[in-house]
């Protein structure tokens, strides 16, 4: 019988009660652990997004594969429109080449550009004598400089026909987009090395 003759729980009953209590406690701990894992993952994702949006971290291939092209384009748009990353004035982002290099560094890809004399049908760069922009490894054309100084949408998806037409109107034929060498940036107080297609911002 579970109760002793003195009316107290037997040793067996007490052991069963302890096991049941420990089982409930273990279940509660497991639930709490799973909840902590989920919260930690969300916090880490939010922190990564914050670091990414403010240019502290670079997107990796695994993170890129998780996003479809529309989501990735929106991410590029937000990044390119950020005034803290592209402040202009005395910052390297005062010229189109500096803006394009930031995009290539963060997202992968390369800087392309042209002299307007060699690409006369381009709508961008006629006044400045030429223009540079970034093309990511998955064929997004990104031009933060154009957005911050002319208010034009900074991202075009070259896999989309409408965007390719817009890119041709802005930048001329793609065969005229030359790769810009990755020259060493000058340190503050030093003169920049001569480089092609460096368009200095006003203001």
Residue-wise pLDDT tens digits, 169-203: 999 999 999 999 864 443 333 333 333 344 333 33
Question: Could you tell me if 103 and 115 are in contact, meaning their C-beta atoms sit under 8 angstroms apart?
Answer: no
The CA-atom distances, in angstroms, between 28 and each of 32, 131, 149, 155 are 6, 61, 57, 49
Query: Around Cβ 38, how many Cβ atoms within 10 Å?
Result: 10
Considering the entire predicted model, what is its pTM? 0.61
d(CA 136, CA 112): 10
More reliable by pLDDT, 154 or 19: 154
The domains of the chain are located at: 11-53, 69-179
pLDDT at residue 99, as a whole number: 94
Closest CA to 77 of 163, 166, 156, 155: 155
Residue-wise pLDDT tens digits, 85-119: 998 777 788 899 999 999 999 999 999 999 999 99
Q: Which two tokens stand for residue 126?
A: 């006629």
């Amino acid at each position: 019988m579970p109760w002793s003759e003195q009316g107290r729980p037997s040793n067996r009953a007490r052991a069963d009660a302890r096991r049941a209590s420990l089982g409930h406690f273990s279940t509660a701990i497991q639930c709490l652990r799973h909840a902590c894992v989920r919260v930690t993952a969300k916090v880490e994702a939010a922190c990564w997004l914050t670091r990414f949006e403010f240019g502290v971290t670079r997107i990796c291939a695994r993170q890129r594969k998780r996003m479809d092209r529309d989501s990735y384009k929106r991410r590029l748009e937000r990044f390119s429109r950020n005034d803290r990353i592209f402040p202009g004035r005395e910052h390297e982002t005062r010229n189109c080449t500096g803006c394009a290099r930031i995009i290539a560094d963060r997202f992968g890809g390369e800087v392309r550009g042209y002299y307007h004399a060699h690409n006369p049908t381009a709508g961008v760069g006629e006044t400045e004598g030429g223009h540079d922009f970034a093309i990511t490894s998955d064929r997004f054309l990104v031009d933060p400089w154009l957005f911050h100084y002319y208010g034009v949408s900074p991202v075009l998806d070259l896999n989309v026909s409408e965007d390719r037409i817009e890119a041709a109107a802005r930048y001329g034929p793609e065969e005229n987009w030359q790769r810009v060498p990755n020259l060493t940036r000058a340190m503050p107080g030093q003169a920049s090395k001569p480089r092609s297609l460096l368009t200095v911002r006003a203001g």
